[in-house]
Structure 1
Amino acid sequence: MLEYPLIRPYPPRLSMMTAALQAIEDHGVYSNGGPVVRGFEHDITRRLFEGSGNSLAVANATLGLMLALKRVQLRSKKVGGLVLMPAFTFAATAHAAQWAGLTPLICDVDRDDWVSSARAEEELLRRFDSRVVAMLPYATFGADIDLDRYNTLGKMHGVDVVVDAAASLGTTNARGTNFGAGAPFAVVYSMHATKTFATAEGGLIHSADIALIDELRQMANFGFGAERSASLPGLNAKLPEVLGLLAQAKLDEIEEVCTHRALLGDAYRQGLADICGGQRPTSARQALQFWPMLIPTDLSAKREQIVSELAARGVGAGQYFSPHLGQQSHFQETALIGPTPVADEIAARMVSLPITDAMTVADVERICERVRSTIRTLRNTLVPKKAAPARRPIVSALLIGGGPAGTALLTAASKQGRLVDLARKGFTIVEQGAGLGDGALGGYAIRSDSTADTFLSAVRDNIHPEIAALMDHPAGRLMAKSADALGAPLVDAGWLLSVTGARLKAIVEEHGGRVLMQHRAQSARRMANGMWRTMISDASGATHEMVSQHIVLATGGFQCWATLASTPVAGARLDQLAGDRLVASDAFLKLGGINEVRARTAKVRAPRIAIVGGSTSALASAILLLKADPALALGANAITILHRRPLRPFYPSVEAAHSDGFSDFCDDDICPVSGFVYRLTGFRLEARELVLRMLGIGGRAPDPRVRLYQIDGEHDGEAQAVIEAADIVIGATGYKPNAFPLFNVDGTPIPLACQQPGGGPLVDRYCRVINAQLQPVPAAYGIGLAAGFRPWGPLGGEPSFRGQANGLWLWQNDVGMLIVDDLLKDARRAVA
């Protein structure tokens, strides 16, 4: 038996409460909010929360979180509701969200106090603005977090707040009141036997909002109203009277308990400050359940030995919370997980030491000495490894970028049973983000111009069962709900791509490939032997080189502001016509981007908006304006789309076009492979529907708020007048590829076609990167947005098409396999 167990429950003793137990029996009320529990609720509100608001005792804290989050879910009108929470917390936090019908959105934590990172929270709020219904911060180990900030942030983003304060009963602020006093939202505490506020089991919900507590009280009693009829969703979350006795008794002693534990905490802080990291104090007095510390970084791999050695020396130690939420298999399968590098590090180094009511400062000093001795002993066993001679690893191919296009290449290989072959050749992926798959895609507020089935086709019946199983994953099921819709929300598409990316990554690594996350490829230089030497930096800024037979650029595209501003429109530069009213469509289409339009037109009675461009982005911008919620004050002809070329709708066949009354096409506009009309030129899904309406095809009535204007000639005075009169001008003139720096053997830059004045494609018809002379750069390929690929031959497409094809389906199939086949062919040749 351990001399110092990590947790030694010390709830009040029922055996000393015979008179109180007899009173319960005499009264004959054992639950349902009897006098003991109601008295406790009144007393704890008065004594810990300054008598403000109200408190509700529940059977346990998890039920308390479930009730509070279910209330959020009932109040929200958002589809696919997400709850933003930190990675470094107990599983019950995320489970409660899922039981309430919501999905956890997991963020990183702060390096110093281990609570939710403000930066990570705000980034995910912007990215998932349309889906986040609540923030669920955790007051880590009883820390005092800034509730005023959460109140402001909630109002700013239109989301509710629920606080997980499981370990915080007894934590006090500078005023001496308990953490959570005055909070306008639900703050949920635990009264479990292992907590500082120890009973047998129980929880408490407190809020300054009395009506909120009244509503939760009704939900905790089966949703029953005054007439014992369910008018709200409900469950049985009531605290029994006997446990109310324990809670009342613990309330009487909590001040003494917390003060004593704080002294033990100070002793730990002093005894281990020079050897172990600790949580930055945030409260006047923290209700310490145990003493959490971070072991030295150089010993993180020996944590199990530390815990085992401490146990041998009579000291119980734990590892709260390791693994953290984002590392647990259930939540990896069912939650959205942002980058969590800090939580990863903290979870890997976390060790918890005993703090119990029976311990003394002398006990803490003895434990500290045993910890120090254990660490000294293990440090002495660390044998410095002799540095191996520096060697550049050689791989078959280096994929630079793991976003939608890069992952599509892997998907293409997986669908054809070639991914394992790629991985076995030493295939390596370098991605600057924390995960493969979605890149920036999930950060847009619009629907895709690919069908939901296109996204699902990447996983449906995939030969890898772990990928095929994603059809039943929450992300797959959510995507399937858009099967009959005009495209899928890109935030949903991003989720499916990210979970697909995680499984593709696992397959690559299992079969010998490598995936370098949070690494950035900086440049690549040709070697005399025909290989590429790529300079790569990691998250710390340290650099190394990697040698590969091939490189594949999947670095995405961007909307170049200089190119946008200098776009000629009717004989003048766009920035000269629009001035500071010019907004880039890429920024506008992102989550929250419409807020700038709201702000700029807030005082305009009948705003006028000009959209310059005939691209999918131009039509998507118009649709986003038309569907804004709350609606914008758009009158007749409020939106003008100025375009140069005619806007064409896609049709699946000539017969379908004719039956719809559309005949504005010729033989050169029909794909000889598929029979599609305007297969590549034509707009699809939501954009197509708007084009059909505005052209009046099939008897459709145009939207009176929109007008199309085809710019006629170089000096079109009316086009200029439209732009000059607009309150907002949205430029949607296309994207340029993120051209990756390539260098010759002698170190001179390789000028690429896409970098020339006026722009050009990144790749040729075989997806090979091309230089300024339109010649292929040896062993270099490209794929993705703005790469400039134009389908040909067996890939199909109408002969009249003169643009570039940017389609997920192409990347995941024919285009992806063009590259995969070449990589494997050259790999076989190299082996031979």
Structure 2
Amino acid sequence: MHSRLLPAQPETAVYRALDHRPVSHEPAAAGSHYTEASSPVAGTNGEGPATLSPPACDPQAGRDPIFVTQPYLPPLHEFLPYLEGIWERKVLTNNGPCHQELERCLGDYLGLKHVSLFANGTLALMTGLQALDLAGEVITTPYSFVATSHSLLWNRLQPVFVDIDPETLNLHPDRIEAAITSRTTAILPMHCYGNPCDVAAIKAIADCHGLKVIYDAAHAFGVTDSGGSILRHGDLSVLSFHATKVFNTFEGGAIVSPDAETKQRIDHLKNFGFVDETTVVEPGINGKMSEINAAFGLLQLKHIDEVLAERRRIAAFYRQHLTQVCGITCLTSSAKRHNASYFPIFVEAGYPLDRDALYALFKRKNIHTRRYFYPPITSFPMYSALQSACPAGLPNTYSAADRVICLPIYPGLPDEVVQTVVDTIANAS
């Protein structure tokens, strides 16, 4: 499928040798709301029953820390031919052949026609909002990563925060309806942890009031509902291909548009507003994805099904065993096919520890979980003064922020560590 992007000569011995060369790395510090540790992993297993190898005794004693996620990296020797092709063509950016091919291949994989690649998901979100010609107020979620609401401020839009559904952790449709004013122009929901929003209810509200809908789909790569990709909903859907996502291009993102005309405008906006060599039609930015990032995405697509299968296998094991633990609740999903991008659990009142104590217990075992999303966006100074940011109006948001913890899940996570995570939760006192 990608042969025209690879160098003409056959694979050399150096590629074969590099296949078995260990990759050294220094993992970043974990535990921050803003950063997620990332380090190379190798190998995946196919999707199968929720079983693991026999656990070792205290498997983390004296070992490197386990982080909540790690990026999937295909074998290095598979990437080198793509790099050679780039070196031969000497095209590094500006809608090069790898960029064009990745847009096409992503569209084929996701079942969508109009995909625009970006340097990162935040630039994609900012550009998508610009493309919709919005003004005034945009209703959005307080339970997300800060980039969701930051993109509104960068577009001089007023965030209006409404509470989430306590079961799905997505925007509650009833709260959206109640927050609409004469200044409301759009809704910016987020598919939290890859769990689909109530897209039918949100569409009905938007259609009734003449509002645009732009989905923050940073967590939702590969997620489907009964009709296909969840990304087909709304006026736009925005993806992140950050290193911590299930599909990554080191850094990257994309916008899914409903038609060719919208995609064309977005493509102008991400390239300084250029239509051709001498014509600029609007004040765009430089949001383009490089050829190296796009090439890595092409290689990632070859492995994405095995990556998702391994994540689902680990998620199934967690769910099978943790649903039996008193005081622990697993998040349910309405997706026909979920991507297991995260595995959040609720630490309830009946559990012997509160969420922060469980987080600290894992940290003592050198296992870094994540309190995600904690604290809520509305607690940060650029938002806290807004009337809609008052905690009293967001009880479900603040309750979730105090109870949710995300467990380690990624391809290459050792089975004995997964078992240790389960045992730690089950045996805490």
TM-score (normalizing by structure 2): 0.80
SS at match of 1:180: helix
Match of 1:68 among 115, 121, 128: 128
Tell me, in whole angstroms, the C-alpha distance in 1 between the residues paired with 2:99 and 2:86.
11
2:206 corresponds to 1:154: yes
Instruction: State how 1:705-784 maps to structure 2 within 5 Å.
Output: none
| Cα distance in 2, alignment partners of residues 300 and 233 from structure 1 | 56
2:177 aligned partner = 122
Equivalent position amino acid for 2:122 in 1: T
Q: Does 1:348 align with 2:408?
A: no
CA displacement, residues 22-41 of structure 1 (integer Å, 9 cap, x when unaligned): 11121121111111011010
Distance 1:95 1:157 in 2: 25
2:230 aligns with 179
Aligned residue runs from structure 1 range 543-692, under 5 A? none
**1:259-308 CA deviation, whole Å, 9 max, x = no partner?**
22112111111211133122121112222233111112266984332212
Q: Distance in 2 between matches of 1:266 and 1:354?
A: 13
Contact 1:37 1:239 in 2 (8 A): yes
Partner of 1:733: none
Which letter maps to 1:69? L
Q: 2:159 matched to 1:109? A: no
Which one-letter code corresponds to 1:346 in the other structure? A
Deviation at 1:15, TM superposition (A): 5.2
1:147, CA displacement in angstroms?
2.9
Amino acid in the other structure paired with 2:152 = A
Q: Secondary structure at the match of 1:247?
A: helix
Point out where structure 2 has 5 or more consecutive residues left out of the alignment: 1-62
**Alignment match, 2:312:** 262
Report the Cα distance in structure 2 between the residues aligned to 1:230 and 1:85, rounded to whole angstroms. 32
Secondary structure class of the residue paired with 1:225: strand
Question: 1:189, 1:205 within 8 Å by CA — same for their partners in 2?
Answer: yes
1:290-369 matched pairs, under 5 angstroms? 290-297=342-349, 302-333=354-385, 336-337=388-389, 339-359=393-413, 363-369=417-423
Residue of structure 1 equivalent to 2:425: 371
Aligned to 1:241: 291
Inter-partner Cα distance in structure 2 for 1:147 and 1:172: 12
Contact persistence 1:24–1:30 (CA under 8 A): yes
Q: Quick one: percent identity of the two aligned structures?
A: 25
Aligned equivalent of 1:216, options 251, 266, 282: 266
Distance 1:229 1:301 in 2: 62
Moved more, 29-38 or 7-16: 7-16
Aligned counterparts of 1:316 and 1:262: Cα–Cα separation in 2: 20
Q: Distance in 2 between matches of 1:13 and 1:202?
A: 20
1:345, 1:210 → 2: CA distance? 42
Contact 2:145–2:377 under 8 Å retained in 1? yes
Query: For the residues of structure 1 that align with 2:160 and 2:74, how far apart are their CA atoms?
Result: 38
Distance in 2 separating the partners of 1:2 and 1:132: 49
Separation (CA, whole Å) in 2 of partners of 1:14 and 1:60: 23
Q: Which residue of 2 aligns with 1:18?
A: 80
Query: Which blocks of at least 5 consecutive residues in structure 1 are unaligned?
Result: 378-832
The code of the aligned residue for 1:152 comes to: A
2:229 aligned counterpart, secondary structure? coil
Do the aligned residues in 1 keep the contact of 2:311 with 2:339 (CA within 8 Å)?
yes
Secondary structure of 1:145's counterpart equals: coil
CA displacement at 1:249 relative to structure 2: 1.3
Which protein has greater RCO, CA pairs closer than 8 Å, 6+ apart?
2
Task: Determine if the alignment matches structure 1 residue 189 to structure 2 residue 239.
Answer: yes
Instruction: Provide the rounded CA distance (Å) in 1 between the counterparts of 2:278 and 2:165.
Output: 46
CA contact (8 A) 1:173 1:285 kept: yes
Local SS of the residue matching 1:17? helix
Report what 1:413 is aligned to: none
SS in 2 for 1:249: helix
Q: 1:263 to 1:228 in 2, by over 3 A?
A: farther
* 1:97 alignment partner in structure 2: 152
Q: Is the 8 A contact 1:163 1:188 kept in 2?
A: yes
1:367 maps to a residue whose letter is: V
CA contact (8 A) 1:187 1:206 kept: yes
2:274 alignment partner, SS class: coil
What is the distance in 2 between the residues matched to 1:335 and 1:58?
33
Q: Return the letter of the residue paired with 1:249.
A: L
Pair member with larger Rg: 1
| Compared CA separation, residues 150 and 189, structure 1 to 2 (3 A) | same
Question: Separation in 1 of the partners of 2:197 and 2:379?
Answer: 24
Q: 1:372 to 1:228 in 2, by over 3 A?
A: farther
**Partner SS, residue 308 of structure 1:** helix
Aligned amino acid, residue 38 of structure 1: Q
SS at match of 1:329: coil
- For 2:276 and 2:387, how far apart are their aligned partners in 1? 38
- Residues 198/345 of structure 1: CA separation in 2 closer, same or farther (3 Å cut): same
C-alpha distance in 1 between matches for 2:198 and 2:358: 34
Q: How does 1:49-64 map to 2 (within 5 A)?
A: 49=111, 52-64=112-124
| Structure 1 residue 89: Cα displacement | 0.7
Q: Deviations over 1:430-484 (max 9, x none)?
A: xxxxxxxxxxxxxxxxxxxxxxxxxxxxxxxxxxxxxxxxxxxxxxxxxxxxxxx
- Identify the range of structure 1 (321-330 vs 56-65) with the bigger mean alpha-carbon deviation: 321-330
Opposite residue 63 of structure 1, the aligned amino acid is L
Task: Give the Å deviation of 1:228.
Answer: 3.6
For the pair 1:29 / 2:84, whether they are aligned, the reply is no
Q: Would the alpha carbon gap of residues 363 and 173 (structure 1) be closer, same or farther in structure 2, given more than 3 Å must change? A: farther
Structure 1 CA distance for aligned equivalents of residues 338 and 64 of structure 2: 26
Q: CA deviation at 1:199?
A: 2.6
Q: Over aligned residues, Cα RMSD in angstroms?
A: 2.0
**How many angstroms apart in 2 are the aligned matches of 1:99 and 1:228?**
28
2:72·2:307 contact (CA, 8 Å) conserved in 1? no
Supply the distance in 2 between the matched residues of 1:334 and 1:16 (Cα, whole angstroms): 50
Rate the CA distance shift 1:228–1:167 in 2: closer, same or farther, 3 A.
Answer: farther
CA distance in 2, matches of 1:45, 1:60: 18
CA contact (8 A) 2:171 2:197 kept: no
Contact 1:11 1:246 in 2 (8 A): no
Aligned residue for 1:170, secondary structure, equals: coil
CA distance in 1, matches of 2:75, 2:285: 29
AA aligned opposite 1:207? S
For 2:368 and 2:330, the matched residues in 1 are separated by 18
Q: Deviations over 1:775-809 (max 9, x none)?
A: xxxxxxxxxxxxxxxxxxxxxxxxxxxxxxxxxxx
1:398-451 per-position Cα deviation (integer Å, ceiling 9, x unaligned):
xxxxxxxxxxxxxxxxxxxxxxxxxxxxxxxxxxxxxxxxxxxxxxxxxxxxxx
Deviates more, 1:343-352 or 1:150-159: 150-159
Name the CA shift for 1:283/1:255 in 2 (closer, same or farther; >3 Å): same
Task: Give me the whole-angstrom Cα distance separating, in 1, the residues matched to 2:196 and 2:85.
Answer: 38
Q: CA 1:62–1:368 in structure 2 vs 1: closer, same or farther (change >3 Å)?
A: same
Distance 2:223 2:234 in 1: 18
> In structure 2, the residue corresponding to 1:111 is in which secondary structure?
coil
**What SS is found at the alignment partner of 2:299?**
helix
**TM-score, structure 1 normalization:** 0.42
Match of 1:5 in 2: 67
